[in-house]
Amino acid sequence: MGSLKFRWEVVLYIIPALLLYGIFFVLPFAQTIFFSFTSWNFFGHPAFVGLANYARLFTDGVYMAGLYRIGLWAVLAIVFKVGIALVLASLLRGKLRGRGFFETAFFIPVVISSAAISLLFTLLYDKDAGLINEVLRGVGLGKLATSWLSNSHTALFAVIAVPIWHTIGYFFVILLAAMHGVSPDLYDAAKIDGARGFRLFRSITVPSIMPALQVCIVLAISGALKSFDYVFVMTRGGPGTATQVPATWMYQTIFGSLEFGYGTAIATSIFLIGLCATLATRKVMAPSSY
């Protein structure tokens, strides 16, 4: 909010953004919610069906399995992505030779597109030419070599590992910036009290960077929830439906079977679950962060 008196010409500075946002965000978003209460196949007229699409979600085995998978995905993302980033950031918090190199190296994958990363891992996971199987054969574990993305036992974990690898560096930088914001006096005081190493980490670092940790956890959860690119490029939800997640299932429902009504219900559910997860995380972590 500024201080200058409002003049009518100021409206001209607002209208272009309002038009763009209204037409290409508000309108399709409102339609998404509207169509989720209908049955529509793109042609013809939408028929109002009440909550039937939402009721169907609960009996749709693929959707429910997809929810379980992104739940697992979110948990693994929090444990590994936030966990590893936290360890790396706290190791590089202080003065250390070669710090610049490590910071640079860790962030490199973050600037690469998820499509390129997915293609890279498709090669890495390949049965014949993949690096992982080459290494396994090299150390005499050739028996374990498999086609990681098309083996239904390994596909889900193979997919989930990719975004974790891809964005650890992002969380690392967020947490490192937060750690640099902590007053060194706190550490000095704790050290006078005899605290060292892990004790400093637990009692000073972690509590001081709670807001940033909260951002990372929210991002890890919402990232898992809306995940589409990695799954779609690497497995398309397969083999069978072994790696199907809500976003790819929505794509399949809408563009595969032209069920816009049910598909938009899945879309709305992704939004609502994300909203609840974000609010819940904020609530749980609130006392120390605000």
Region 120-179 residues binding other proteins, contact defined as CB under 8 A: 120-124, 126, 128-129, 131, 134, 137-138, 165, 168-170, 173-174, 176-179
Q: What is the token pair recorded at 40?
A: 């529509």
Distances from the Cα of 52 to the Cαs of 130, 191, 192, 261, 267, in angstroms?
Answer: 46, 62, 64, 10, 15
Residue 77 vs 92, nearer CB to other proteins: 92
For other proteins (CB under 8 A), the number of binding residues is 118
Binders of other proteins in range 14-73 (CB under 8 A): 14, 16-18, 20-21, 23-25, 27-29, 31-32, 35, 42
Residue 28 vs 207, nearer CB to other proteins: 28
Q: Which stretch binds other proteins (CB under 8 A): 54-62, 75-83, 150-158, 180-188?
A: 180-188
Binders of other proteins in range 63-122 (CB under 8 A): 84, 87-88, 91-96, 98-116, 118-122
User: Which residue has tokens 């690392």?
Assistant: 172
How many whole angstroms separate alpha carbon 189 and alpha carbon 184? 9
> Which residue of 212, 224, 231, 242 would you call a contact of other proteins, by CB under 8 A?
212
Residue 72 vs 165, nearer CB to other proteins: 165
Please list, in sequence order, all residues whose beta carbon lies within 8 angstroms of the beta carbon of residue 141, skipping any fewer than 6 positions away.
Answer: none
Name the burial class of residue 16, with classes exposed (0-12), middle (13-18) and buried (19+) by CB atoms within 10 angstroms of its CB.
exposed
Binders of other proteins in range 217-276 (CB under 8 A): 218-219, 222, 225-226, 228-229, 232-233, 247, 250-251, 254-255, 260, 263-264, 267-268, 270-271, 274-275
Q: Provide the minimum distance between the beta carbon of 111 and other proteins in the complex, in angstroms, as a whole number.
A: 4
Q: Which of 249, 255, 91, 72 is nearest to 164 (CA)?
A: 72
Q: Provide the minimum distance between the beta carbon of 35 and other proteins in the complex, in angstroms, as a whole number.
A: 7
Bridge pairing between strands 38-41 and 43-48 = antiparallel
How many whole angstroms separate alpha carbon 205 and alpha carbon 181? 10
User: Which residue has tokens 């409002």?
Assistant: 6
